[in-house]
Chain A
Amino acid sequence: MSIPTNQYPNSRALFERACQVIPSGIYGHLGPAEGCMIPVEAFPLYCDHAKGSYFWDVDGNRFIDYMCAYGPNVLGYNDPDVDEAARKQMEKGNCTTNPSPVMIDFAELLVDTVKSAEWAFFAKNGNDATSLAVMAARAYTRRKKIVFFKGYYHGVSPWAQKIDYPGILPEEVCHNIYVPWNDVEALKEVFASYKGEIAAVIGQPYMHGNFADNELPEKGFWQQVRALCSAEEAVLIVDDVRAGFRLDLQGSDHYFGFEADLICFCKALANGYNVSALCGKNFLKNTVSGLTYTGSYWMSAVPFAAGIACIEKMKRLNLPALLKEKGEKLTHGLIKIASEAGFRLVVSSAPALFYLRTADDDSLMLHQAYIAEMVRRGVFMTNHHNHFLNAALSDDDIEHTWQAAKEAWAAVKAAL
């Protein structure tokens, strides 16, 4: 029996309402524009509730969620252990004048868990952590320039945006230097050209760029970057907001065999509870102590309790190995099904954060048609961004995804 295709009248009605009072209805990566919902009619826009590996939209459609709220859902929505820890802490207090000791417990757990961490500083979003990292690097080195790897995403603060983005002043990005990913020689040239001027090199553990296959670091790449930063006395910042804990509970720098000076976490840190962290080496601790950097909710206790429960559970599950196994099983099946339908599906990135592309069409229009058909059949994917796995994804979910893929390719073929 074929999977029924979804309709979204309630989502559409809500979106029209939202457009009256919210700029662009849903802004940012969850919205139809930045979320590349093509065609927009194939996608749900509002969630009613979620559990495990699923969410249900406001029209009652269930989705196997391969975006996991763009990463935060790592154990499964409404994980009972994490939610129970959060509930207990909520009964004691959350946003209070004095922080709770749970903040220290959480920092100690991170220091014990993350290989390169000797301290932890908490905030709310990944952007808070990356911005603090850049501020700390500049304050410590008293230098201005930051080196980025092309295709990067480090958040939405002005320093992390580009000169052609609306609202960004040239002065805000004039100290940004861009080098190609995996290009050590280019990095060496930059260090030579800006001798004594580079405060930091910031990079994601591998290239997660959108609209293109994700690229892992070439052998020895990070080790050479590490050596260059050490030799030139520049701070090495790893933005592990996206991949953090899905590759390696000790940090993605550990996974790739090097040590960052500063490492940023957010998404998978607390299974959806709102907290981010910057962890770092002791030589930067005094500098960070002296920065003016805080927020109204940054020391709320509930996300700390949730984060502790999340990390402990990820350890019990050996989460990276679990997600790798699920990701490999899922994507091998998707490749086979595509091939049987006469299409070539290319999978890149780590299995826990797999990126999909349909080959033989450099416009991506064919791939967009495939993803739209998947979503119509209750499998939420995106056509432009890496996906995320969570621990609650079952073998039955994977089987259902494969069935949807078979039907999606048939629909794509019929429309060609």
Chain B
Amino acid sequence: MPELDAKTLAYINLYAVLGALENLCEIDEEARRLASRKKPVSVGFEVKNGPSATLTFADGRCTLREGCESCIIKLPFASCEKFNGLIDGTVTPVPSKGLLHVGFLLKSFTKLTDLLTRYLKASPEDLADPAFKEKSTTLMFYVIGAALSQIGNEDPIGRFSASNIVDGIVQLSIADGPCLGIRVKDHRLETVKRRPKKPRARMEFGSMELARRLFDGEVNAVACIGTGEIRMGGMISMVDNINRILDRVSLYLA
């Protein structure tokens, strides 16, 4: 069995998995309703020797930002393993701040994360609905795109790949679908969930269906480049190394 780095997984769980709540609220009506609050509420996650970030819910939108100094509800975790347990469902967090708002955690927030789980670990029945499948694939795209940067920054082998990436932005996209940029500066990666203005390299999956099959491991990217189902261009060494990190995304998100 491959060894997974708990700290890398914690970064993925916070920035990529919980970070996908941003996108969930953009594309799902129910999520938007759950995130609609008269007063904004924010949930901070502070992981000892690990990541720290705050999710803020207001006006039907969710935003993630680094740090949790000004959060309303704070959830501290003694270790990356404990935080990863929250995502696994094996650890129940106890707020250190914002007990008066715990109702949001128990109700709306739990419903939001349950909804996200339904999209990310979709059942065959749900995937039979084309609209659900498109939303599910879109969310997977954002989770993978955000996880790429966390692995490139934290995972020992991912950092090796990142050490071989030159500065610039790699654009990842699905044709007629979502698009994001991986910004690389001094071998540090940052995922920006919008279409970059001037990418140095790009890789585009030809359709939602193809992206789904790639994410599910049913087809291989190298083969799809030959058939023209994946388009790449620009500084291909960047795409090449991003693909090596992508290979490790499936390891962490399996």
Contacts and interface: CB of A to CB of B under 8 A. Distances in A.
Contact of A362 (B158, B228, B235, B248): B235
A318 interface: no
Contacts of B221: 33
A164 B168 contact: no
Nearest to B3: A170
A19 B227 contact: yes
Given A363-B200, A364-B236, A365-B233, A33 B160 contact: no
B236 A19 contact: no
B15 to A, nearest CB: 21
Given A25-B226, A166-B247, A384 B236 contact: yes
Interface stretch (A38-46, A246-254, A267-275): A38-46
A19 B223 contact: yes
Contacts of B244: 164-166
B117 interface: no
A280 interface: no
Contact of B226 (A33, A162, A163): A33
B238 to A, nearest CB: 9
A368 interface: yes
Interface string A6-24: 0000000001100100011
Contact of A363 (B168, B227, B231, B241): B168
A34 B225 CA distance: 9
Interface size class of A (residues with CB under 8 A): 20 to 34
A210 interface: yes
B110 interface: no
A333 interface: no
Contact of B225 (A33, A164, A210, A365): A33
A155 interface: no
Contacts of B161: 164
Contacts of B233: 38-39, 363, 365, 368
A26 B158 contact: no
A7 to B, nearest CB: 15
Contacts of A170: 157
A33 B241 CA distance: 14
Interface in B178-211: 199-201
B232 interface: yes
Contacts of B247: 164, 166
Contacts of B248: 164
Given A41-B228, A363-B200, A365-B234, A33 B157 contact: no
Interface of B: 157-158, 160-161, 168, 199-201, 220-223, 225-228, 231-237, 241, 244-245, 247-248
20 contacts: A19-B223, A19-B227, A23-B223, A24-B222, A33-B223, A33-B226, A34-B222, A36-B236, A40-B228, A163-B160, A164-B157, A164-B158, A164-B244, A164-B248, A170-B157, A210-B237, A363-B168, A363-B235, A364-B235, A364-B236
Question: Which 10 A-B residue pairings sit nearest by Cβ, starting from the closest?
Answer: A33-B225, A32-B226, A363-B234, A24-B223, A164-B244, A33-B222, A164-B161, A211-B237, A363-B200, A24-B222
